[in-house]
Amino acid sequence: MNIKSKFKDYEVVQVDSDSFFKELAQPNAYYVIDKNVYELYPELFQSLREDFLFILESTEENKTIEMALAICERITKLPAKRNVSLISCGGGIVQDVTGFVANVMYRGIKWIFIPTTLLAACDSCIGGKTSLNYKSYKNLLGTFYPPDHVFLFTRFFDTLSERDFLSGLGEVVKFNIMRGEAGIESMERDLNLLLARDKVVVGRFVETSLEFKKPFIEADEFDKGERILLNFAHTFGHSLEVTSRYHIPHGTAVAIGMMIAGEISLKRGDLRKSIFDRIKILVKAIVRIDLEREWFEINSVINAMKKDKKQTGDTLTAILLDSDFRLNIKNDLTTAEVSQALLFVFDYLVS
């Protein structure tokens, strides 16, 4: 798949053997590898020299400007300057930090990204967003900077924990609900195969998710217009990540956010019950973590929502879905309706 970007067009390639990794080796390459991936796949990384390698522990606490600067600092020690290539291998956290580094280091260096989580493969690897957390605010700092190449090697998903695999499925379910009737039907048909990590089916859903995202990011790379619609469910999702202190992983929070958005649309009369019932079943199948009521406490959620980038004023803004699968920006959400939806969704998911 070729992605058009104002910076540079780039390729996303599915590979079925790890030989691509050795082919990337070159004297000017600096590697940033997720710590778990580094330990799980020693055969891939054993030949890398320590001074060309940064091992990153992927936690939200590490997605900071300090971590990005620590990597920049290490890159300054290399003989190669603007001709250095950054090769990063990991999930969305490695991507967010290394995308930022690739963008600011010498005002932009070559960057190759190898997503190792389902979430990074089906969503974040395209679109060029780089994000860092600042104080308690999620993704407050960031830039746009796409990679030069993305290599998708789905064998990496075999070792994902249940929590992280299901988090990736959260984004897959989101894209397929946004696709409309055909997307929902395909999810309903293949849900069990997806949950069983069937390679062919997972690979297909990664592709349909990226295909759905591609026209939005190409038409509105800098998130000024229609790309904002891709944030469906994210206002609530980001808030739950914050209120749960990241116990709820990103894609799972987005899946729960979809239900909150759906419940609000239903109560407004904008979404048919028959569609919402199908969304609820899909979301419940993939949300398998123990939820705590305090994470859904209205004041904390509203507080977190107000710090979200998408908020433009004092009113609460979110993207809601209607019965024709149109996504609409709503600027008039009330605390009462968010509160009702939070209570409903929590009770439904823990029942």
Ligand X SMILES: NC(=O)c1ccc[n+]([C@@H]2O[C@H](COP(=O)([O-])OP(=O)(O)OC[C@H]3O[C@@H](n4cnc5c(N)ncnc54)[C@H](O)[C@@H]3O)[C@@H](O)[C@H]2O)c1
The smaller minimum CB distance to ligand X, of residues 247 and 268, is found at: 247
The smaller minimum CB distance to ligand X, of residues 52 and 145, is found at: 145
102 vs 67: CA distance, rounded Å: 13
The smaller minimum CB distance to ligand X, of residues 167 and 176, is found at: 167
Pick the closest to residue 177 from 165, 191, 166 (CA basis). 191
Give me the least distance between CB of 106 and ligand X, in Å please: 21
Q: How far is CA 39 from the centre of its chain?
A: 23
Give me the least distance between CB of 246 and ligand X, in Å please: 8
Between the CA of residue 239 and those of 66, 122, 303, what are the distances in Å?
Answer: 23, 22, 8
| Residue 96: both structure tokens together | 């967010």
Pick the closest to residue 304 from 93, 294, 97, 92 (CA basis). 294
CB 233 within 8 A of CB 321: no
Give me the least distance between CB of 351 and ligand X, in Å please: 26
The smaller minimum CB distance to ligand X, of residues 63 and 278, is found at: 63
> Which residue is closest to ligand X by CB?
92
Pick the closest to residue 151 from 194, 116, 183, 124 (CA basis). 116
The smaller minimum CB distance to ligand X, of residues 102 and 266, is found at: 102
102 vs 118: CA distance, rounded Å: 22
Give me the least distance between CB of 277 and ligand X, in Å please: 27
Rg (CA), the chain: 20
Pick the closest to residue 323 from 256, 270, 283 (CA basis). 270
Site residues (vs ligand X, CB under 6 A) = 34-37, 40, 58, 60, 63, 90-96, 116-117, 119-120, 123-124, 127, 129, 131, 139, 156, 159-160, 164, 167, 249-251
Give me the least distance between CB of 343 and ligand X, in Å please: 26
Give me the least distance between CB of 250 and ligand X, in Å please: 4
The smaller minimum CB distance to ligand X, of residues 71 and 275, is found at: 71
Q: How far is CA 349 from the centre of its chain?
A: 22
Give me the least distance between CB of 92 and ligand X, in Å please: 2
Q: In the 8-state DSSP scheme, what is residue 124?
A: I
Q: Put residue 97 in one of left, alpha, beta given phi > 0 → left and psi -120 to 50 → alpha.
A: alpha
Give me the least distance between CB of 163 and ligand X, in Å please: 8
| Residue 223: both structure tokens together | 């998130």
Give me the least distance between CB of 303 and ligand X, in Å please: 19
Between the CA of residue 342 and those of 173, 273, 277, 282, 336, what are the distances in Å?
Answer: 20, 17, 16, 18, 10
The smaller minimum CB distance to ligand X, of residues 11 and 324, is found at: 11
8 vs 4: CA distance, rounded Å: 7
The smaller minimum CB distance to ligand X, of residues 167 and 243, is found at: 167
128 vs 111: CA distance, rounded Å: 11
The smaller minimum CB distance to ligand X, of residues 93 and 261, is found at: 93
CB 232 within 8 A of CB 261: yes
